[in-house]
Amino acid sequence: MTRKLRRAVMYAVLVIASLLSVFPLYFMIVSATNTSAQVLGARLLPGLQLLTNLHALMAQQDLLAALWHSSLNAVSTTVLALIVCAVAGYGFEVYHSRGKDAVMNILLLTMMIPFAATMIPLFRMFSEAGLANSTLAVILPAISTPFLILLFRQSARSFPHEILDAARIDGLGELTIFVRMFIPTMRSTFAAAAVITFMGAWNNFLWPRVILISNSQQTITMLISNFRAGYVIDYGVLMLAVLVASLPTMIIFLILQRSFANGITGAVQ
Amino acid sequence: MKPLTKIAVITVAAALSLTLGACSSNSGSTTTSSSSAGSGNHLTVWAWDPTFNIYAMNEAQKIYAAAHPGFTLDVQEVSWDDIQTKLTTIAQANQLDQLPDIFLVQNNAFQKNVTSYPQLFADMSNAGIDYTQYPKAVVDYSVVDNKNWGLPFDNGAVIAAYRTDVLQQAGYTLADFTDINWSDFLTKAKDVLAKTGKPLLSGQANSSDMMMMMLQSSGASLFDAQGKPAIVGNQALLNTINVYKQMVQAKVYTEVNSWDEYVASFVNGDVAGVINGCWILGSIQTAKDQSGKWDLTDMPALDGVPGATNYSANGGSSWAISASSKNFALAADFLKSTFAGSTQLYDTILPSSGALANWIPAAKSDVYGQPQPFFNNDKIYAKIVDYASKVPSNNTSPYYYEARDAISAAVTQILGGTDETKALQQAQQTVEFAMQ
Amino acid sequence: MSTVRLTAKPSPATGRRIVGLEKRHSLTGWAFLTPAAVLIAVMSFYPMIQSFILSLHTGRGTVLHWASPIWYNYARLFQDQTFKLTIQNTFIYLVIQVPIMLIMALILATILNDKTLRFKGLWRTAIFLPCAVSLVSYSMVFRTLFATNGAINDALMGLHLIDSPINWLAQTGTARMVIILGLLWRWTGYNMVFYLAALQTIDYSTFEAARIDGANTVQTFFHVTVPQLRPMILLTAIMSTNGTLQLFDESWNLTQGGPANTSMTMSHYLYQLSFQSNPNIGYGSAVSYAILIMVAILAAIQMKVGDKRD
């Protein structure tokens, strides 16, 4: 009896939580196919305006350029962050020494530094180096993060040292071992790290807003935010833009979700 | 410190750009700036209102292109807040090539920007523009050190536009709302609301536009003659806030959250009137179904304030040419031949967008005397020119926007129940604090 | 580890070679972590020092000079009513949102960890999916939903719960509430995934044993689940606290900090000080240091509390 009740409560909680989670997303998708008036009128059924909205969006904004900038930023940040942080996390664990542990602890301290505290000097630094408005300026601060290094260090703990020793005896170089042995066994960690980094980079707003002065460099998040500044907002078009901006991260998450969960689990073990 | 920074950043940058180059062959394109100054027969412009200044710019392009074949213009919609932020960051980052050739600046912010960032503005004193063809008060917004840094565009004279059909329904005519005081307005507005269910006014909750118009209509300001904040003990301000409070509480003034909601409130017919700078006429006229039902008059005057008038200004802006523009001569000639030299331009933009010319020769235009069908066949532009000439001057300050923000914050608090004196004292402190 | 084993019994013949190898491995190790360490040094530590130096300067726009007295900007912080207000706002978000979010995430993770549960993947995906949406995007969705003439008001009026539309974003209480709702929506699933991962490392029989001992669901939750997850709860608490103290996107896009700055966050104020109107970068840097100190103090407190319960 109580067992049944317990199960009922469990499913009820899950259903409510899932509905609440999905509703704004559903609203976003449905609204992208409706007119501005219908969006404000809370129409919750799909409409016929998708193409009209798409035309309006493409006409009003340089959507493709913004998507391209966001992709470039997110992909380069993710690739570089995975390389740099995986190598470092592996280095800290596999070759660990007291000196390296001390360095790791110092690096971990930067987890406490709010971005706001470094934003102004970073802006001045990149400006003085003539790098304002450049992709490099957007991605550089996001490549090396203590969180990712920690994630890779934790998962490197489960990397069997027998393999390492065997490979060394076989005469493989250290870098070869990393590339051929470590990367393939740590796929799920890489997936988790990729999901976190890609989402962070794709969704980043404050820093691109500061460092990308020219409108021609704007990212998709900046494009959406600038809708707010416009005089008359077409909510259907806005919701379509929001949908377009969210699709890449959603798709990546859905594809990598299993490995993502395993990667996080592997790291906390 | 600086060379060290440079070396550090460049080293890291160089090391990484190699990697970056490998994973994205297109990374090179990101460093070439593309929005900045056009070349040859092409100009780039920043402006913010598609129904007003952007529209006017595009009309000017057509006129100039007729005499200069192949002349093109790229007008980008950038909100004023964004233009201000961009000017700030461009100056700090020393990225002058990111400026367009021409950009629009709010008159109230012109002095501040020229003084803080002189490197952004091109001197237009010798651009061949006859500044004597503008009222001196308007030109003065963009004069610093006896040099002209801008070309006045619109002056933002305030109009009060009403839906005459709604007024009629409540038993009023436009005359009942002409040359009145706010106390009078309040009584009648309440009556209109009771009889028709429609509030007469609306505005953005977080904006002090309405109050600034009321304040300026009596020649008062948030600053004293020495430029110090004069918020506490400012009788005109107290009366202004009092009227505003009463209007909101009586629900004859609807507070909305955003500009689009504000425009929608009268375009959709939820609200039966508008008091704002005359540039709002462009937005009013987007409600095609309401053609003929609107008419306009002057705004109400403050009660019990010496020097109170029925005239004020809101907005008003001037064009600036950027110091980094490689097309200064073209930009200057373009502005000179259109905004400072073409009655044809004003004849086009005036009726459709309410772009009231500061350029005196344009005031001789026939358009001013023509009845406007949308506005009940009234000769509204002759009226506006008359109002514009009676607007009391505005005492602006580099901290004008800080003061405005402080006032809107204070009024939000007052409406929420905070003691008026306390809220205004805090506003005064906030502005004084910002000026330290 | 491996190096330890290698050096454990060095034979005289190979000793020199092994020491050389160990040294080489150590150097390889340093080489491996150098790029990351250098990047963090240049992108975090160096700007942090710069920020401190800047915070000792005053001036507007591009004209800066040393402050006199040197602590001028820091003294100024204590008179700044707006900064105090933004601290208050941020802490309201922190105190209300973080505990609710972490408790909800814990409960959901516990339910999802139940072996008998069906459609696990479906629930997990649905609850985590909001995390894939950018902060700017969801701010826009929430702004649209909570507009005066928007869907939420229409729904509430349709249900006759309210008579006239509520201007959610223009009143202090409701504007803050909308931001908190947004944060809960966006981040609960994210934290849940961390708890779920941690729960899966716990031997499931622990939970069954507790149940056999007669513990009910609530007791199991408090006496088995929570203690086991303490390190992860600590980590998520620190991450969420850190994230909340740095809120910007929601304040900027959802409420624009209004009404009367009562929903503005510290980072939003910092941005306004540094890049809008009359920029005061020196003072902005002082504000950023104040935020840094708050984050550090809160993290230290949390670690202390987290440790003590051991």
What are the residue ranges spanned by the domains of chain B? 42-155+315-364, 158-313+392-435
CA distance C44 to chain B (A): 12
Beta bridge partners of B158: B277
Nearest by CB to A129, which of B9, B27, B260?
B9
- Going by C-beta distance under 8 Å and a sequence separation of 6 or more, which residues neighbour residue A217? A69, A133, B30, B33
C-alpha separations of C15 from A96, A172, B347 in Å:
21, 21, 96
B32 touches chain A (CB under 8 A): no
Please tell me the predicted confidence (pLDDT) of residue B81: 82
Determine phi and psi for C261, rounding to 5 degrees. 65, 10
Helix (H) or strand (E) holding A27: helix A2-31
C281 touches chain B (CB under 8 A): yes
Which residue, among A54, A33, A57, has the nearest Cα to A44 in the 3D structure?
A: A33
Please tell me the predicted confidence (pLDDT) of residue A232: 65
Q: Which residues from A are below 8 Å from C50, CB to CB?
A: 121, 124-125
Distance CA A44, CA A36 (A): 13
pLDDT band at residue C19 under the 50/70/90 scheme: low
Which residue, among B398, B344, B30, has the nearest Cα to C277 in the 3D structure?
A: B398
Distance CA B52, CA B350 (A): 10
CA distance A60 to chain C (A): 18
Residue B90 in this model has a pLDDT that exceeds 90: no
**Is A53 among the domain residues?**
no
Convert the pLDDT of each residue in C155-187 to its tens digit. Answer: 888 888 888 888 888 888 999 999 999 999 999
What amino acid is encoded at B314 in this protein?
Answer: N
Residue C279 in this model has a pLDDT that exceeds 50: yes
Percent pLDDT > 70 in chain C is 91
Q: How far is CA B433 from the centre of its chain?
A: 26
Q: What is the 3-state secondary structure (H, E, C) of chain B?
A: CHHHHHHHHHHHHHHHHHHHHHHCCCHHHHHCCCCCCCCCCEEEEEECCCCCHHHHHHHHHHHHHHHCCCCEEEEEECCHHHHHHHHHHHHHHCCHHHCCCEEEEEHHHHHHHHHHCHHHECCCCCCCCCHHHCCHHHHHHHEECCEECCEEEECCEEEEEEEHHHHHHCCCCHHHHCCCEHHHHHHHHHHHHHHHCCCCEEEECCCCHHHHHHHHHCCCCCECCCCCECCCCCHHHHHHHHHHHHHHHCCCEEEECCHHHHHHHHHCCCCCEEEEEHHHHHHHCCCHHHCCCEEEECCCECCCCCCCCCCCECCCEEEEEECCCCCHHHHHHHHHHCCCCCHHHHHHHHHHHCCCECCHHHHHCHHHHCCEHHHCCECHHHHHHHHHHCCCCCCCCCCHHHHHHHHHHHHHHHHCCCCHHHHHHHHHHHHHHHHC
Please tell me the predicted confidence (pLDDT) of residue A82: 95
Q: Which of B31-35, B392-396, C232-236 has the lowest mean pLDDT?
A: B31-35
Beta bridge partners of B44: B74
B120 touches chain A (CB under 8 A): no
Are A146 and C40 inside 8 Å of each other by CB? yes
State which residue of chain C sits closest to A202, comparing Cα positions.
Answer: C134
Residue C61 in this model has a pLDDT that exceeds 70: no
- Chain B window 55-84: which residues touch A at a Cβ cutoff of 8 Å? 76-79, 81-82
Residue B418 in this model has a pLDDT that exceeds 50: yes
- Going by C-beta distance under 8 Å and a sequence separation of 6 or more, which residues neighbour residue C131? A199, A253, C186, C187, C189, C190
- Going by C-beta distance under 8 Å and a sequence separation of 6 or more, which residues neighbour residue B143? B149
Q: Which residues from C are below 8 Å from A116, CB to CB?
A: 246, 248, 266-267, 270, 288, 291
Residue B173 in this model has a pLDDT that exceeds 50: yes
SS3 of C14, please?
coil
State which residue of chain C sits closest to B413, comparing Cα positions.
Answer: C260
- Tell me which of A35, A268, A269 to substitute to probe the interface with C (most C C-beta atoms closer than 10 Å): A268
**Is A47 among the domain residues?**
no
Distance CA C53, CA C275 (A): 18
Convert the pLDDT of each residue in B131-146 to its tens digit. Answer: 998 887 788 888 888 9
C170 touches chain B (CB under 8 A): yes
Per the structure, how many domains does chain A have?
1
CA distance C293 to chain B (A): 23
**Is A225 among the domain residues?**
yes
Beta-carbon count within 10 A of C66 CB: 13
Residue A182 per-residue DSSP state = I
Nearest by CB to A144, which of C36, C128, C149?
C36
Convert the pLDDT of each residue in A170-212 to its tens digit. Answer: 888 888 888 888 888 888 889 989 988 998 999 898 899 888 8
Distance CA C181, CA C186 (A): 9
Are B79 and A229 inside 8 Å of each other by CB? yes
Range of A8-22, A119-133, B386-400 with top mean pLDDT: A8-22
- Tell me which of A35, A122, A133, A217 to substitute to probe the interface with B (most B C-beta atoms closer than 10 Å): A133
Q: Which residues from C are below 8 Å from A14, CB to CB?
A: 108, 111-112, 123
Nearest by CB to B20, which of A136, A214, A233?
A136
Please tell me the predicted confidence (pLDDT) of residue B19: 45
Range of B20-24, B175-179, B206-210, B341-345 with top mean pLDDT: B175-179
**Average pLDDT, rounded, for chain A:** 86
Residue B200 in this model has a pLDDT that exceeds 90: yes
Buried b (16+ CB within 10 A) or exposed e, A102-128: ebbeebebbbbbbbbbbbbbbbbbbbb
C68 touches chain B (CB under 8 A): no
CA distance B366 to chain A (A): 31
**Is A51 among the domain residues?**
no
Distance CA B113, CA B97 (A): 17
- Tell me which of A40, A118, A143, A213 to substitute to probe the interface with B (most B C-beta atoms closer than 10 Å): A213
Please tell me the predicted confidence (pLDDT) of residue A219: 92
Q: Which of A74-88, B162-176, B351-365, C108-122 has the lowest mean pLDDT?
A: B351-365
Residue A112: CATH number of its domain: 1.10.3720.10
- Chain A window 149-208: which residues touch C at a Cβ cutoff of 8 Å? 149, 161, 164-165, 168, 174, 178, 199, 202-203, 205-206
What CATH code is assigned to C78-308?
Answer: 1.10.3720.10
Convert the pLDDT of each residue in B330-361 to its tens digit. Answer: 999 999 999 998 888 988 888 777 777 788 88
CA distance B178 to chain C (A): 32
- Chain B window 268-287: which residues touch C at a Cβ cutoff of 8 Å? none
Contact of B352 with B358, CB cutoff 8 Å: no
CA distance C245 to chain B (A): 23
Residue B73 in this model has a pLDDT that exceeds 90: yes
Region B250-255 average pLDDT? 93
Distance CA A140, CA B289 (A): 54
Chains that touch B (3 or more CB pairs under 8 A): A, C
SS3 of C149, please?
coil
B24 touches chain A (CB under 8 A): yes
Please tell me the predicted confidence (pLDDT) of residue B9: 54
Distance CA B301, CA B182 (A): 6
Chains that touch C (3 or more CB pairs under 8 A): A, B
**Average pLDDT, rounded, for chain B:** 85
Q: What is the 3-state secondary structure (H, E, C) of B177-222?
A: HCCCEHHHHHHHHHHHHHHHCCCCEEEECCCCHHHHHHHHHCCCCC
Are C167 and B257 inside 8 Å of each other by CB? yes
C200 touches chain B (CB under 8 A): no
- Structural Rg of chain A based on CA atoms: 23
Buried b (16+ CB within 10 A) or exposed e, A164-184: beebbeeebebeebbeebbbe
Please tell me the predicted confidence (pLDDT) of residue C2: 37
**Is A150 among the domain residues?**
yes
Please tell me the predicted confidence (pLDDT) of residue B246: 94
**Is A1 among the domain residues?**
no
Q: Which residues from A are below 8 Å from C4, CB to CB?
A: none
**Is A58 among the domain residues?**
no
Region C278-301 average pLDDT? 88
Residue B12 in this model has a pLDDT that exceeds 70: no
Region A117-130 average pLDDT? 86
Please tell me the predicted confidence (pLDDT) of residue B37: 42
B90 touches chain A (CB under 8 A): yes
Region A145-149 average pLDDT? 90
Domain B42-155+315-364 homologous superfamily, CATH? Periplasmic binding protein-like II (3.40.190.10)
Residue C65 per-residue DSSP state = E
Please tell me the predicted confidence (pLDDT) of residue B35: 39
- Chain B window 122-141: which residues touch C at a Cβ cutoff of 8 Å? none
pTM: 0.84
Which residue, among A118, B242, B88, B92, has the nearest Cα to C270 in the 3D structure?
A: A118
Nearest by CB to B412, which of C82, C260, C276?
C260
Are A126 and B95 inside 8 Å of each other by CB? no
B263 touches chain A (CB under 8 A): yes
Q: Which fold has domain B158-313+392-435?
A: D-Maltodextrin-Binding Protein; domain 2 (3.40.190)
Nearest by CB to A125, which of B5, B51, B258?
B5
Beta-carbon count within 10 A of B67 CB: 10
Region C45-64 average pLDDT? 85
Nearest by CB to A235, which of C37, C144, C289?
C144
Q: Are strands B201-204 and B253-256 parallel, antiparallel or unpaired?
A: parallel
- Going by C-beta distance under 8 Å and a sequence separation of 6 or more, which residues neighbour residue B93? A123, A124, A126, A127, A132, A213
State which residue of chain B sits closest to C283, comparing Cα positions.
Answer: B434
Return the residue matching tokens 């499913």. A11
